[in-house]
Amino acid sequence: MSENKLNKEQLLLDLLKKKFILNESAVRRAKRVEVKVDPKEIIPVLLYAKENSRYISFAHMSCVDWIEDGEFEVVYILWNPEDKINLFVKTRISRDNGVLPNIDFIWRQANTYEREIREMFGIQFEGLVGRQEFILEDWEHMPPMRRDFDTAEFVKKTYFKRPGREDAKDVREFVQERTDEELPDFAKKYSRD
Amino acid sequence: MAFFDLKGLLSPVTGLKQFGKKPHTIMFPDVAEHASDRYRGLHFNKLEDCIGCGNCSTICMNEAIDMIQIAGYEGKKGDSGLRPRVDNGRCCWCALCVEVCPTGSLNLTKDYIFVTPDANDFLWTPGIDNKEKGEENISFYSDKETSLSDYSRVPMRELDGDVRIQSFAEAVLGYNEEEARKEASRCISCGLCTESCPDHMHIPEYINAIARENDEDALRIIYDNNPLPEMCGKVCTRRCEDVCAMTHRGDAIAIRWLKRYATETAKNAEIIKEIVNPEIKEANGKKISIIGAGPSGLTAGYYLALRGFDVTIYEAKAKAGGMTFYGIPKYRLPAESLEKQVGYMQSIGVKINFNTRVGKDIDFKEIYNNSDAVFMGVGFEKPWTLGITGEDLNGSLQAVTYLDVINGGGDMEIGDKVAVIGGGNVAIDAARVARRKGADVTIVYRRRVEDMPADWEEIEGAEDEGVHIMPQGIPIEVIGDKNGKVTGLKFARAEMIPDPDGGRPRPKQIEGSEEIMEVTSVIGAIGQEGDYSFIPDDMKNQIKIERGRFVVDENKQTTLPKLFAGGDSANRTADAISAIADGFRAVKAIEKMLMK
């Protein structure tokens, strides 16, 4: 899309740049603006977007586990129904005991998202009121959406296999038998699980 | 509340403004519900496209997918014959199985209603149990562009054609560490390739070792059943890559180049020995003689020596490697590389008697009587001639003879304009060598370029180096001057006649299309055969030979129990990896026969 067609997107970005310290910012494409801010800037940016720029709709909130960086990235997605633009506000906190401000006084429905993220990733929201248990019942493991949670291992321990599945074959072993290939023991650790 | 609430009275009436508008609801069940475009419903598998690689089953975190045998799907090279069965009671419709399906046969459909009183009914095979609601209902399919799998091969760096023809330097440069790790991590470790490899090398394991940054383990795994892996890493016919799961929608994993990378990390014979560090069994006193130090003979020698046998290889020439030394040009397989691999074999106890031609320098019968077993890997040494007039002229020669002289360090006068006749790898090799010797080279081949049995990379390489290819040309006569020196090649054009039996089209000479090409040499490369004159006649009667090849059983045993054979003179595939496989199989059989 040519640049003059992205006027509204650019305008919003310039406005935010003037008002706040943005770590990163970009017009990703038409109808999509992304900014990255520090956690302490979250409430001011969201409030400003809602009250001053008509980003009145809270569309979504999600979380990404950047395990390699030791950080969580929380993404707030806002929607301006007049300009039809999505504003992505991203912030990063430490994976260990990271805390974010609660924003459910700005949009009431954020409460639900925050409870889900608290349960699935273990991120605490300061002042969040609501039952600890959200979807999971009697959960005693690591929050399951963290990338270091071993889903396959959990599944193996927790569930039994339905009867009638005993005839399953391992592809590698099946082909090996057909060809009389003799795989030495020390090589087996490199075979597919 | 006020007694007269105007708003309360009017509100229900405002609903009337919707009157006549299209409703958002549907009249269920008269109107069917419509799922969104990328809806992730029940699985559907196109069983004919599926190759049973099991990638879906491996990625499933819920262990919902089993690979099972299904009647009617037998399995063949490149297809395990297994097909996925889904436990829908476990599936969470994340669609990772679809995302990583290399063929794109597995999909999710818009169909999501499945009602049953028996929970065990949730176990069913996509493509069989939902045939009728399957194919036309597909909504979530794997998109190559956004896939988690990488379908593009890491490109191989090589010298440019005009640089290549200036010397016999190796044309392909090989992967560096970063490239190798990247290429290795594309592999999905299904192992279907191992079936196509005549030697059944442990391909997914050594590739995974490279991906996990353990090159030494990769080398150890490779040496488990191939003692000439660097040679294979450079020149193998790599049938493994033809059936790679990734070829269905992208480039095959560069299995050959990855093997080359792993073997080249060991710079010399000592380092190979240090890394592979094989267990050498105590001498068992049995004596094995091997005729020919080609790939099959060397393989048999290496693994027999490791198993404690006293091994002696008799080689007619000055260097080991057979056709891989004297046939394959040095720009594809440098002499140092072979010497390194053979040097390692010698260091673990393989004895090679060079310049010892059996039947001339030493008697076959003597070897046979003094050994507990004999393995023959004598190859095809004798080139076929074209069978046309003028072939005895000075300047008419055979490609294997020419390559033999050049690879042996000698030289041969061929002039500056050469015609090579044939379309196999030997023809291309001879053409590219002649090009490096400064000649203008034309390959004359009876059929079309796409019919050439040579490796497509070799054909492309030859074209890059300025070799002309003249397809559909039938040689008729080699023409010479009064001194008996070649001056030209008379050939005719051919048209392709389709084979009614479905074979490849046959060339038919076009009447009156004869032309004469001015050349200084004609190099024939239309095939070779074995020379078994070293076997005395009274023994030959007991050894069954059919169509120029020794008849052997699956143990590579000939009709004489003590005598085994492998390589070109005993198999029909006639490539190095088949020869290695023959040698390896013979080792197992010899051990079983002598050590029971």
Residue B513 near chain A (CB below 8 Å): no
Burial of B575 (0-12, 13-18, 19+ CB in 10 A): buried
pLDDT attached to residue B500? 84
Strand-pair partners of B353: B314
pLDDT of A1 higher than 50: no
List for chain B the helix, strand, coil content (%; round to 5). Answer: 30, 20, 50
CB nearest to A169's CB, from B82, B191, B217: B82
The sheet carrying B65-69 orders its strands as B65-69, B82-87, B123-124
Mean pLDDT by 10 residues, chain B (596 residues): 71 80 80 82 94 95 95 92 94 94 94 87 90 85 88 94 91 95 96 95 97 96 96 94 95 96 94 94 95 96 96 95 94 95 95 95 94 95 90 93 94 93 94 94 94 90 94 94 93 90 86 93 92 92 91 93 94 92 96 90
Where along chain B do the CATH 1.10.1060.10 domains lie? Answer: 165-275
> Considering only the top CATH level, what class is A3-135?
alpha beta
pLDDT attached to residue A29? 87
Q: How far apart are CA B210 and CA B184, in angstroms?
A: 6
Residue B113 near chain A (CB below 8 Å): no
Q: How far apart are CA B535 and CA A165, in angstroms?
A: 58
Nearest CA to B63 out of A107, A96, A128, A159 is that of: A159
Query: B63 vs A161: CB contact, 8 Å cut-off?
Result: yes
Could you report the predicted ipTM of this complex, rounded to two decimals?
Answer: 0.86
Nearest CA to B524 out of B548, B489, B566 is that of: B489
pLDDT > 70: what percent of chain A? Answer: 97
Q: How far apart are CA B55 and CA B99, in angstroms?
A: 10
pLDDT attached to residue B495? 92
Q: How far apart are CA B397 and CA A26, in angstroms?
A: 70
pLDDT attached to residue B1? 52
pLDDT of A3 higher than 80: no
Q: Which residue do the tokens 């993220």 mark? A: A117
pLDDT attached to residue A4? 56
Where along chain B do the CATH 3.50.50.60 domains lie? Answer: 283-380+530-594, 383-497+505-528
Query: B58 vs A151: CB contact, 8 Å cut-off?
Result: no
CB nearest to A168's CB, from B67, B192, B194: B67
If you count residue pairs, one on A and one on B, with CB atoms under 8 Å apart, how many are there?
116
Query: A164 vs B123: CB contact, 8 Å cut-off?
Result: yes
Q: What is the torsion angle, in degrees rounded to the nearest 10, for the CA atoms of residue B97, residue B98, residue B101 and residue B104? A: 160
Query: B204 vs A192: CB contact, 8 Å cut-off?
Result: yes
Residue A155 near chain B (CB below 8 Å): yes
Q: Which residue does chain B place closest to A173, by CA atoms?
A: B191
* pLDDT tens track for A12-27: 899 999 999 999 899 9
* Element holding A155 (H helix, E strand): helix A151-158
CB nearest to A183's CB, from B53, B90, B205: B205
Residues of A in contact with B85 (CB under 8 A): 165, 168
Residue A186 near chain B (CB below 8 Å): yes
Q: How far apart are CA B51 and CA B28, in angstroms?
A: 40
CB nearest to A152's CB, from B61, B200, B202: B61
Residue A126 near chain B (CB below 8 Å): no
Residue type, position B534, single letter: F
- Both tokens of B64, joined, read 């919902």
DSSP secondary structure letters along B97-135: HHHT-SSS-EEEES------S-GGGGEE-TTTTTSTTTG
B461 phi, psi to nearest 5 deg: -60, -40
**Least Cα separation, residue B299 to chain A (angstroms):** 17
- Secondary structure letter of residue A40 according to DSSP: G
Which residue pairs, CB below 8 angstroms and at least 24 apart, start in A173-180? A174/B67, A174/B80, A174/B81, A174/B82, A175/B80, A175/B191, A175/B192, A175/B194, A175/B195, A176/B191, A176/B194, A178/B75, A178/B195, A179/B194, A179/B195, A179/B200, A180/B200
Nearest CA to B382 out of B231, B579, B526, B538 is that of: B526
> Considering only the top CATH level, what class is B43-140?
alpha beta
- Both tokens of A52, joined, read 């001053």
Query: A159 vs B90: CB contact, 8 Å cut-off?
Result: yes
Q: Which of B67, B88, B215 to mutate to test the interface with A (most CBs of A within 10 A)?
A: B67
Residue B566 CB contacts under 8 Å (≥ 6 apart), including other chains:
B296, B297, B300, B375, B376, B377, B552, B556, B579, B582, B583, B585, B586
Q: Are B219 and A187 within 8 A, CB to CB?
A: no
- Which CATH number is associated with domain B283-380+530-594? 3.50.50.60
* Element holding B311 (H helix, E strand): strand B310-314
CB nearest to A162's CB, from B120, B200, B208: B120
Query: B67 vs A171: CB contact, 8 Å cut-off?
Result: yes
Residue A127 CB contacts under 8 Å (≥ 6 apart), including other chains:
A101, A102
* pLDDT tens track for B121-147: 899 999 998 887 788 889 999 988 888
Residue A187 near chain B (CB below 8 Å): yes
Query: B57 vs A171: CB contact, 8 Å cut-off?
Result: yes
What architecture does CATH give domain B383-497+505-528?
Answer: 3-Layer(bba) Sandwich (3.50)
What architecture does CATH give domain B165-275?
Answer: Orthogonal Bundle (1.10)
Residue A192 near chain B (CB below 8 Å): yes
* pLDDT tens track for B231-270: 999 999 999 999 999 999 999 999 999 999 999 999 999 9
Residues of A in contact with B190 (CB under 8 A): 171-172, 192
Q: How far apart are CA B325 and CA B429, in angstroms?
A: 13
Residue A157 near chain B (CB below 8 Å): no
Residues of B in contact with A151 (CB under 8 A): 61-62
Q: Are A143 and A122 within 8 A, CB to CB?
A: yes
Residues of B in contact with A166 (CB under 8 A): none
Q: How far apart are CA B288 and CA B311, in angstroms?
A: 5
How far the first Cα of chain B sits from its last, in Å, is 105
CB nearest to B61's CB, from A151, A182, A187: A151
C-alpha distance from residue A61 to each of A104, A110, B90 (Å): 12, 8, 28
DSSP secondary structure letters along B217-282: HHHHHHTTT-S-HHHHHHH---HHHHT-GGGGTSPPP-HHHHHHHHHHTS-SHHHHHHHH----PP
Q: How far apart are CA B568 and CA B379, in angstroms?
A: 5
